[in-house]
Amino acid sequence: MVEDGSYAWLRWIPLLPLIAAAVHGVSLGLLRRPLPRGATIALSAGAPAISFVISLVALIELTAMPEAERVLVDDLFTWLAAGDFGAEFALLLDPLSAVAALLITGVGSLVHVAAIGLQGEDNRDDRGFNRFFAYLNLATFAMLTLVLAENLLVMFLGWQGVGLAAFLLIGFWYTDESAPRASMQSFIIGRIGDFGFLAGTLLLTRGLARQGVSGTAFPEIAAGFGDLIGITLTAPPALGGEWQLSFVIAGCFAIAALARSAQWPLQLWLSGIHVAPIPAGVMVLATSGGMAAVFLLCRLYFVFETETDVMAILAWCGALTCAVGSLAMLVRTDVRKVLVALTSVQLGLVFVAAGCGAPSVALFHAVTTAFFMPLLFLATGSIIRATRGQTDLQRLGGLWDYLHRTKWLFAVGALAVIGAPLTSGFYSREGVILAANLTESVPYNGALYLLLLATLFATGSAVMRLQLRIFHGRCMLSADVRSQVSEPDGVTLLPLYGFAFLAAMGGFLGPAAALNPFPVEDAVSNSLANFLIPLLGTGVSLEHQAGSVGLAVLSTFVSAAGALLAWYLIHERPELGLRLRQALPKLDVLRGLSLAAIYEWAIVRPLLWFARVGLWAGLELRVLDGLFRGSVRSIRATATGALRAAHAGRAGDSAIWMVLGSLAIASYLVA
Amino acid sequence: MGELVGVISWMIFVPLGVGLGLAALTALARLAGYDLPAVAWIAVGFAGALFSAVLSLWMWLGFEPAAVVEYQFVEFLPWIPELGIHYFVGVDGFSLPMIGLTTCLVLIVLIASLDEVRDRLRTWVFCVLTLETALIGCFASLNLLQFIVFWQWALFSAAFAIGIWGRAGRVQAALKFLGMGTVGVTAIGIGALVIHQLHLEQFGVATFDLVAGSIGGSGLLDTLVPVGGGVRSQLFLFGAFGLAFAIPSALAPFHIWLADAQGEAPTGASVLIAGGAINLGVYALLRFALPLFPVAAVEWSLPIMALAAGGVVYGGLLALAQTDLKRGIAYASMCQLGLVSLGLFAFNVAGLEGGVLQLISHCVTIPALFLLAGMLESRRGTLAIDEFGGITKPMPVFSVFLAVSVLAAIGVPMLSGFVGQFLVLLGAFETAPWLAAVALVGIGLVAVALLFVFGRVALGPVKNPENRGLIDLGWRERLALLAVFVPMVWIGLHPETLTSRLHQPVLTLRRVMLDRVAATFDAYPDPRAERAIERLTDRGPGEGSASGGREAAAGVASELAERRP
């Protein structure tokens, strides 16, 4: 298995889902013969499951190695080489990618299994089932390639793959009016991120080549990056004259990360995710979109580390995403939209942590988000299924007595997302709060901290609102729907139990070991952060965490206060709640309109107008074509004039001219 | 040097011979009162094209990527030896993929024309076969005049194809195509005559050959010092060659033939223009213009790169503005060609290899898009984007092919577009980072434009009732598309197949350019020649000593030689 330090079996981790996707692609896209249902399930859900097992083996292999040498490489072939530049098609497994790969394959497998039940019944065309699994497999492949990439080029392959999978999954119901629009929006915003990624890659590669580092593998880049600090780029004076190269590179990658995880101000495409099937929404937002971005930040942390300005931008973009998302989740009435906003808030917290200099905390929160958000999404999927597609919070209610399993699953997810003590969300959120509290590099960090507390308050309210509106109060369903309410079968619910377990217990993976109420002997050294320390540094140091109990109490209190307020408003003072809810959309509309409108009126429309009227109708057709036609006309006029003189009216007979011309040339040559 | 009639000649002349033979047979049959059916034309024509394709495959397999000789499969036949006009053909890593793709695309066009071409099918087959002969003849030319003759021939064939089988505005478009193409050919023709004469005056040898074709012969590149009285005359001569490059390569503002010709052309002609005729400019550049006038090429490079980068953005914006499918594709093609020019004129290894790789990718992705557009047109009779929408419902297989082609064209990794694009940008970032950044913006624009096209054609509800009953792609169409898709995926996955054949010619080209720049510097000490040395040796200003140009060049040349695989 192991030859000369090469681990050739690593390639099967991303390859298996790709093969599954390719089989579906050929059977659906070319032959139009979908696989039978059983084969689809075995192939599509089996592939990530086997990948999970391989990742587990790899992790075990990794932990058996000495701490400084924990790297497995699988070099497939030389992808692209020209001159000094060379990029291998290679996979690299180190602690960071091992954690990410485990998460993606593990969570991915659960989502696949859940999709069997949820998607199997929610079908509008005969091949939808297979198509859906093809997309899920593709998304899994893309994510695995992204995290296992050995260099930036392979990572870009995964990066674009994630964007493509998001495009396909969001636009799954392609015959609808809204789904294609939403998916295009996601792709275009993703394209902005791709621009950042590609520009950053090119600048980094070129800069390093100038310093004599010709390799593109991450370890080499990380080692060589220090030489780039202090180098300036000369720009035209209109663009500010001189730029620090390291700042520009970090900025480019920051754009990429912000776009991929729908952070402010690039979060427009979030609004469309709810049109996708529920498992697709999970895949796009919770497991791939956010994870891809935070993984990029962690993998390239050496780029961001020294650029405090970029870090501050990341933190503030994250905080603003939290603010915007908080507003949205309080006023939306579609349960799927509330969940999308809730996820976006979690990703905002991730960026706050990363921007505050705690990448391992950021990664940890992304991991726990990938535990509890799928749980909430899938439980909601079960609710929507049970109520025959009802997604309006105003029309749900009183389901506590009907959905005996789903209600508990949902409750676990709800507790985790508001960060109830001992759940996974608690630990990761504490890390974020702590990071925001301790940071000194982010300007106005006091305001940032207050904004986070407000977000916690809003999260508590929103989740309580969901709980009350779905499960309590009067049941609004019609009698015949109510009589047929049923839960999905065990296979569909099984992954939900898995997610529930992770959401409840996942916190013990985390770096907040000091908060661990069950002190295990090796808790600290086994924690995620310690595993990642060689790559990411310590982030928030453990000494600080001992004093963080006060913070934990405060933030828990704030969340609980939010939840209590929601309970009070809905349960005790519904008329006040209604008035508040009617007032809040105005704020929300203002927000939604402004960003969308700014893009629409400041960029899209002027650009299209410029292209259509200025360039196409004006420059291309009038000026350039006119010049061409004008010159043809004048040439023809001269030629016919000359011909008339020479030939008395035999105009246009160019053959004569050709003969004359060739004679002239020949005589010139021979002479 | 080489056998008298070898594989390349067979490849060039068999299609023409088959075409002429079929024509003669038809005439004979008509005399006998019998009409040769069009199917026979297609079948025999296909067999002839297949013969060429098999030969090109055989040549591909027999080609030695690391061979030290510059050209392989060389054939030389004196034609008008007094004037130095010979039949002189051979291939290297630049022309090998161009020839291979041309032969493949002709096969695909012949298959596709069964569904596409409604009338004068026999003439169409004849036209396609002559075009194939002309294109391969160009790509194998090592004699300048022979190249020009074949080029003009290709222009006529393509123009006929547009003018006879095109859409409503076909005659105008064909004339525009022919007119602008002829301007380019005339420019390079005049340039060729001038250097021929100068060469004769300076060195006493009359030749159009690039290198010595026979023992005792002489080629234009055999004398290190470029012809002409100095750098100034070279600038003019390169201008002539550059015009011949710029017009087929759709360098703004010489692109104005592109949208009209490609918009009005029948699908087969669009495919062969995008996958074959457009390469002629790049071939002229790589084979003749750059080695002959390296100082001038370097001197012209920044303006050309600026035009190229601007062209990428311009093409992207115009692609956004189009309402016609084929015209949209044409502007996307302009974007990709802008990238090709951007990479080539960076003159570094990444840029040159990336430029050719991008060109080859263009020769696959754009024809695929044109084929798909043609399949829609033959079903609906229109290409207005607004006429469509929700095509995926009735034509799912079509939609899958369209999606993959669009992704390949916008440079998604693992498909052909990405690798060339990346290398081009890497090379351009080295010499002109801000221009590369501009091109990067353009790439984003064209991606959005193509995606919009895909969304508006394929996604959403089927609103137009005429689209409801559309029939999905048949087996013939799927086969034709698959034939384009295999290279599309393979280039993206394993570009080494191509780049390993490009390393050698790129190094040779850079070495020849350096040697000749150094010789120019020795002959006419000119700051422009010094700048060219600095640029080609990639050293900062002031590092190379003023008098040591040749030494510096020789040093770099040996450095390059060492890096050879």
- Which of A572, A599, A624 corresponds to the end of one domain? A572
Cα first-last separation, chain B: 26
B424: left (phi > 0), else alpha (psi -120 to 50), else beta? alpha
Summarize the confidence of residues B76-100 as an average pLDDT: 88
The pair of three-digit structure tokens given for residue A86, joined into one six-digit string: 């060379």
Top-confidence residue, A363 or B556: A363
What region does A60 belong to: left with phi over 0, alpha with psi -120 to 50, or beta?
alpha
Question: Cα(B346)–Cα(A100) distance, rounded to whole angstroms?
Answer: 39
CA gap A561, B192 in Å, rounded: 85
Q: ipTM of this complex > 0.90?
A: no
Cα angle B138-B140-B142, degrees, rounded to a multiple of 5: 95
CA angle A104, A109, A113 (to 5 degrees): 150
Q: Are residues A3 and A138 in the same domain?
A: yes
- Of A528-542, B90-104, B422-436, the range with the lowest mean pLDDT is A528-542
Count Cβ atoms within 10 A of the Cβ of residue A269 and give its class: 0-12 exposed, 13-18 middle, 19 or more buried: buried
Confidence grade of residue B442 (pLDDT, cut at 50, 70, 90): very high
Please state at what angle helix B433-458 crosses helix A178-210, rounded to 10 degrees: 160
Specify if A294 maps to a domain: no
Mean of the per-residue pLDDT values for chain B? Answer: 87
Specify whether A643 is located in the same domain as A566.
no
The reply to whether A273 and A319 lie within a common domain is: no
Q: Is residue A20 part of a domain?
A: yes
Query: Is A75 in the same domain as A192?
Result: yes
Alpha helices (runs of H) in B214-348, residue ranges in sequence order = 231-246, 256-264, 267-272, 279-283, 290-292, 294-321, 325-344
The whole-model pTM stands at 0.89
Token representation of residue B319: 């692609």
Which amino acid type is present at position A30? L
CA distances from A323 to A349, A415, A508, A638 (A): 10, 21, 28, 71
Site from A75, A126, A127, A669 to mutate, B interface, most B CB atoms within 10 angstroms:
A669
Interval B93-112 mean pLDDT: 92
Domain regions of chain B by residue span: 1-282, 293-493, 514-563
The tokens for A144 are 């695995």
The reply to whether A135 and A11 lie within a common domain is yes
Could you tell me if A119 and A161 lie in one domain? yes
| Inter-chain residue contact B461 with A205, CB threshold 8 Å | no
Q: How many other CB atoms are there within 10 angstroms of residue B384's CB atom?
A: 10
Query: What gap in Å lies between CA A541 and CA A360, rounded to an integer?
Result: 11
Q: Which residues of A touch B460 (CB under 8 A)?
A: 174-177, 180
Per-residue model confidence (pLDDT) at position A518: 37
Q: Which two tokens stand for residue A145?
A: 């390639």
Is residue A296 situated within a structural domain?
no
Q: Which of B86, B100, B130, B127 is nearest to B7 (CA)?
A: B100
Contacts with A, B 330-349, CB within 8 Å: 348-349
Taking an 8 Å cut-off on Cβ atoms, the answer to whether A191 and B455 are in contact is no
The total of structural domains in chain A comes to 3
My answer on whether A455 and A380 are in the same domain is yes
Comparing A207-211, B59-63, B313-317, B370-374, the range with the smallest average pLDDT is: A207-211
Banded pLDDT at B565 (limits 50, 70, 90):
very low
Phi (first) and psi of residue A334, to 5 degrees: -85, 125
Subunit contact A669:B83, Cβ cutoff 8 A: yes
Q: Is A75 helix (H, G, I), strand (E, B) or coil?
A: strand
Residues B206, B218: Cα–Cα separation, whole Å? 8
In a domain, A295, yes or no: no
Domain-embedded: residue A399 = yes
The torsion angle over the Cα atoms of residues A295, A299, A305 and A309, rounded to 10 degrees, is -50
Read off the tokens for B483: 């034939």
> In Å, how far is B548's CA from the nearest CA of chain A?
24
Say what the pLDDT of residue A58 is. 87
Q: Percent helix, strand, coil in chain A (nearest 5)? A: 75, 5, 20
| Domain contains A434 | yes
| Closest among B562, B527, B556, B551 to B541, alpha carbons compared | B527
B-chain residue closest to A193, CA distance = B444
Pick from A254, A263, A346: which is nearest to A301 by CA?
Answer: A254
Rounded to the nearest angstrom, the minimum Cα separation between A238 and chain B is 12
* β A72-82/A85-93 pair status: antiparallel
Domain check: are A377 and A407 in the same one? yes
Q: What pLDDT is attached to residue A651?
A: 41
- B183 to each of A154, B80, B243, B254, B281, how far by Cα in Å? 44, 25, 8, 11, 13
Q: How far apart are the first and last CA of chain A?
A: 76
Based on the domain organization, do A316 and A255 belong to the same domain?
no
Nearest partner of A436 among A456, A458, A465, judged by Cα: A456
B176 interface with A at CB cutoff 8 Å: yes
Residues A536 and A650 in one domain: no
Decide if A270 contacts A262 (C-beta within 8 A).
yes
Mark yes or no for CB contact A184/B455 under 8 Å: yes
- Judged against a pLDDT cut of 70, whether residue B411 lies above it is answered with yes
Same domain, yes or no: A164 and A103: yes
B197 pLDDT band, cuts 50/70/90, is confident
At position A37, the amino acid (one-letter code) is: R
Higher pLDDT: A636 or B181? It is: B181
| B433 in contact with chain A, both atoms CB, cutoff 8 A | yes
* Amino acid making up residue B207: T
Ranges of residues in chain A with a pLDDT under 50 are 1-4, 512-526, 538-543, 649-652, 671
Write the single-letter amino acid at A301: Y
B-chain residues near A80 (CB < 8 A): 419, 422-423, 495-496, 499
Evaluate whether residue A292 is within a structural domain: no
Residue closest to A386 by CA, chosen among A493, A475, A486, A472:
A486
Assess whether pLDDT exceeds 80 at residue B562.
no
A369 and A260, same domain (yes or no): no
Cβ–Cβ contact B448 with A under 8 A: yes
For residue B310, pLDDT over 60 is answered with: yes
Q: How is A251-271 classified by DSSP, letter by letter?
A: HHHHHHHHHHTT-TTS-GGGG
- Which residue matches tokens 């006038």? B293
Task: Measure CB to CB from residue B256 to each of A183, A187, A625 and give the nearest one.
Answer: A625
Picking from B240, B264, B252, the residue whose alpha carbon sits closest to that of residue B183 is B240
Domain span including residue A652? 585-670
CA angle in degrees (0–180, nearest 5) for A10-A16-A17: 120
Long-range contacts of B63-69 (CB under 8 A, 24+ apart): B63/B91, B63/B93, B63/B96, B63/B501, B65/B93, B65/B500, B65/B501, B65/B503, B65/B504, B65/B565, B66/B504, B66/B564, B66/B565, B67/B504
Find the CB nearest A77 among B393, B425, B494.
B494
Verify cis geometry, omega within 30 degrees of 0, for the bond prior to B253: yes
Per CB-CB distance under 8 Å, the chain A contacts of B451 are 184, 187-188
Residue-wise pLDDT for B146-155, tens only, equals 999 999 999 9
DSSP B3: -
Q: Is residue B55's pLDDT more than 90?
A: yes
Query: What percent of chain B shows pLDDT beyond 70?
Result: 93
pLDDT in tens, B319-334: 988 889 999 999 999 9
- pLDDT tens, position by position, A333-361: 888 888 988 998 999 999 998 888 888 88
pLDDT value of residue A485:
77
Residue A242: list chain B partners with CB under 8 A. none
Rounded mean pLDDT, B415-432: 90
The reported pLDDT for the residue numbered A652 is 45
